[in-house]
Amino acid sequence: MSQTASIKDVANHAQVAVGTVSNVLNYPDRVSQRTKERVLKSIAELGFVRNDAARQLRAGQSRTIGLIVLDVGNPFFSSVARAAEDAATALGSVVLVGDSGQDASREAHYMDLFQEQRVQGLLISPVGDVSARIDTLRERGVPTVLVDELADTDRCSSVSVDDQEGGYLAARHLLDLGRRRLAFVGTPSIRQVSSRLEGAQRAVAEVPDATIEVLDSAGQTVLAGRQVGNALVERDPGERPEAVFCSNDLLALGVMQSLTMLRTLRIPDDIALIGYDDIDFAISAVVPLSSIRQPTEALGRTAIELLAEEQESNGTKHRTVVFTPELVVRQSTAGSPN
Amino acid sequence: MSQTASIKDVANHAQVAVGTVSNVLNYPDRVSQRTKERVLKSIAELGFVRNDAARQLRAGQSRTIGLIVLDVGNPFFSSVARAAEDAATALGSVVLVGDSGQDASREAHYMDLFQEQRVQGLLISPVGDVSARIDTLRERGVPTVLVDELADTDRCSSVSVDDQEGGYLAARHLLDLGRRRLAFVGTPSIRQVSSRLEGAQRAVAEVPDATIEVLDSAGQTVLAGRQVGNALVERDPGERPEAVFCSNDLLALGVMQSLTMLRTLRIPDDIALIGYDDIDFAISAVVPLSSIRQPTEALGRTAIELLAEEQESNGTKHRTVVFTPELVVRQSTAGSPN
DNA sequence: ACTCGTCTTTGAATCGTTTCATTTGTTACG
DNA sequence: CGTAACAAATGAAACGATTCAAAGACGAGT
């Protein structure tokens, strides 16, 4: 009683064979009412709990799905993760979340871990180049779905949002306000960020005299944004951009903190500011933050769907889903004269 | 090659016994240089990856620690979770995070799941009354540490923050500003919330003429805060409280959104506002939000430490750690005349 | 040549489940 | 009464790792 009872203990206690106990658990219809009751009673009395490791070992696969995100502290990813968890739960699976923190070695660590766990499948927002590993995984029967990243081959499924389009929407919006000297804040070494930058540059190229400078931030966090903001504040007023596009809302909130610290600088009048992701906190910022909204729930849900399709087709059928982002205008870019 | 290789395959390929392969993996010193090299080569060639299920089955225990939180979307919990993960990683363990969403049945679901997984231990911010289940778990050798909750018995360890004190600090601060008609926003059915309320009431009782009314919110989210805020806005100005204490920052941000929507109402002049948790987003709110800071990293780290102590002592040694919260004053309660 | 000690290697047993071919039990029908 | 048809229960084998007692290899010492 002190240690955990096994199925064998239950069988002894209920005076049946182990196979019968297993049947009660997995195929109740195969067992007669009388024995079923007896077995269930024994299970309750002994406090028997299935040993998942043994189950998995026999089954050769776990009921677990691995999810590797770039930063769980970022509401964008926690929202995606939540949606994926809900969708997986409905299918009787569990989602294991790993946080790579945009570090390729941590990413590799989680991939190793998930492989040892024999996960059903892997959802990943990659940091480094993981295509080789994904190929290996597929060979081994572990389907993978890229999340928030477009599959560049037709060898795996992916669900993403059109980052170029999002970047274009943001920059276009700033240009429509009449701003010409734009700045982009982010770490372009991240694929999503560089795509957003490309989109922004495309918009800028469409407008004569418009320019965009790139301010490389040390990460994609509020803190990194604050640092960039401080650098902007220290510039000569004439050297400051008229509008700033941050590659995510955390950065934008950080920039906003710095800019508003200097009481003479007004948002959006002196500098218009737009972020990306439209996290819940964007609306309640000092100056409610304009942003580009991404359908996080759809991303998470679809990722699980695609994984299920991969499994059903034994990893032969791949699909690519691309959502379109949406501009959300708030006060931080509210109509200044044009 | 297509399917995953087992230790037996490696043994065949390297012309050694399975035990030797296992030794190469677990006790490299016991194996001669020559064979070690040969085995490692085979492992690489076959792409062998340990099967964790088999390992666990043999070991009788996993390297996993279960963590059940009330809401992963809340930065307070995601921060605690992150700290716990980091601390666990250092010990070679993995943290599985379950989100109860303040729902007792989901909480029970995760407890079942973790028990089936034979987790090393359980960290939990309980919703319902879980003491009976915790007793059962301890009997089965699964140590449990209560997180953000004071253990009411000496039968298990716990790490928490003094919520009464935090509530007292918040209310005291509002009273020190000269406010007398206070309001408390939150769902007192949650233990932490009711403790914070008690602390606030204690502070109020110390000041003649001071009152505090309780506004029950539908949850602890930004949305729920917005609803309460709307209700406040609709009141006659004379009926509105002079200061509002929200049981967490999400609620406070929601209330702030509603209040600032009505352009004539000023924070802190007309209504002072203070939250709880001091999440990163508090500082960048419309009006930077005063709050009560809790040491989230210390909570997560300590939780893992306590769990380790429980394991070492075989669940006989329990310890209770209580941290003290800290008042952070920002503009939302900035000095109005007293 | 023989024994002893040390270092390597071996391989059967084990963990707790599921599966499935077999056996046992029961009922119905000619 | 014999037997076919079906339902229920059985228990050995398998999953893939770790463990550990035992066997094997080898050199040193006498």
Q: How far is A49 from chain B (nearest CA, A)?
A: 6
CA B289/CA A23 separation, integer angstroms: 58
Query: By percentage, how much of chain A surpasses pLDDT 90?
Result: 83
Q: Cβ(B298)–Cβ(B322) under 8 Å?
A: no
Residues 6+ apart with CB under 8 A from A56: A62, A63, A118, B53
pLDDT value, residue B338? 40
Å from the A189 CA to the C7 C1': 52
Residue of A nearest to B226 (CA): A284
Q: Cβ(A246)–Cβ(A255) under 8 Å?
A: yes
Residue of B nearest to A59 (CA): B53
Å from the A19 CA to the C21 C1': 13
Residue type, A69: V
Chain C bases having any atom below 7 Å from a protein CB: 7-21
pLDDT value, residue B2? 55
Domains of chain B: 7-50 (1.10.260.40), 63-160+296-323 (3.40.50.2300), 163-294+328-333 (3.40.50.2300)
Q: How far is A70 from chain B (nearest CA, A)?
A: 13
DSSP 8-state code for residue B287: S
pLDDT value, residue A2? 55
Q: Does A132 touch chain B (CB under 8 A)?
A: no
- Which amino acid residue lies closest to nucleotide C19, measuring CA to C1'? A19
Q: What is the pLDDT of residues A88-135, one digit of tens each?
A: 999 999 999 999 999 999 999 999 999 999 999 999 999 988 999 999
Å from the B225 CA to the D26 C1': 79
Query: By percentage, how much of chain A surpasses pLDDT 70?
Result: 98
Å from the A3 CA to the C26 C1': 40
A4 CB and strand C closer than 7 A? yes
Q: Does B322 touch chain A (CB under 8 A)?
A: no
Instruction: Determine the 3-state secondary structure of B246 from DSSP.
Output: strand
In which region does residue A102 sit, left (phi positive, over 0), alpha (psi from -120 to 50) or beta (all else)? left
B26 CB and strand D closer than 7 A? yes
CA B156/CA B135 separation, integer angstroms: 9
Contact between A284 and B253 using a beta-carbon 8 Å cutoff: yes
pLDDT value, residue B285? 85
CA A249/CA A255 separation, integer angstroms: 10
Of chain B, the end-to-end C-alpha distance in Å amounts to 78
B28 CB and strand C closer than 7 A? no
* Local confidence band at A1 (pLDDT 50, 70, 90 cut-offs): very low
Nearest to A300 by CA among A82, A114, A71, A66: A82
**Which one of A82, A140, A284 has the shortest CB-CB distance to B73?**
A82
Residue type, B254: G
pLDDT value, residue B33? 93
User: Which chain A residues 55-74 have CB under 7 A to strand C?
Assistant: 55, 57-59
pLDDT value, residue B337? 42
Q: Per this entry, what is the length of chain B?
A: 338
* Mean pLDDT score across all residues of chain A: 93
Instruction: Determine the 3-state secondary structure of B273 from DSSP.
Output: strand
CA B235/CA B21 separation, integer angstroms: 75
Q: How large is the average pLDDT for residues A65-90?
A: 94
- Which amino acid residue lies closest to nucleotide D9, measuring CA to C1'? A20
Contact between B140 and A254 using a beta-carbon 8 Å cutoff: no
**Which one of B73, B112, B116 has the shortest CB-CB distance to A78?**
B73
Q: Cβ(A172)–Cβ(A201) under 8 Å?
A: no
Q: Cβ(A275)–Cβ(A248) under 8 Å?
A: yes
Q: Where are the alpha helices (DSSP H) in chain A?
A: 7-14, 18-26, 33-46, 52-59, 75-90, 104-116, 131-139, 163-176, 191-205, 222-234, 249-261, 296-312
CA B1/CA A136 separation, integer angstroms: 10
Nearest to A125 by CA among A277, A275, A252, A299: A299
Please report, for residues A216, A231, A239, B48, the alpha-carbon distance to residue A236 in angstroms, rounded to integers and kept in the order given: 19, 10, 5, 60
Interface of A with B in 283-312 (CB under 8 A): 283-288
Contact between B288 and A286 using a beta-carbon 8 Å cutoff: yes
Along the 338 residues of chain B, how does pLDDT read in single tens digits?
457 899 999 999 999 999 999 999 999 999 999 999 999 999 999 999 999 999 999 999 899 999 999 999 899 999 999 999 999 999 999 999 999 999 999 999 999 999 999 999 999 999 988 999 999 999 888 999 999 999 887 889 999 999 999 999 999 999 999 999 999 999 999 999 999 999 999 999 999 999 999 999 999 999 899 999 999 999 998 899 999 999 999 999 999 988 987 778 888 999 999 999 999 889 888 889 999 999 999 999 999 999 999 998 888 889 999 999 999 999 999 864 44
Exposed / middle / buried, residue B34 (Cβ in 10 Å: 0-12, 13-18, 19+): exposed
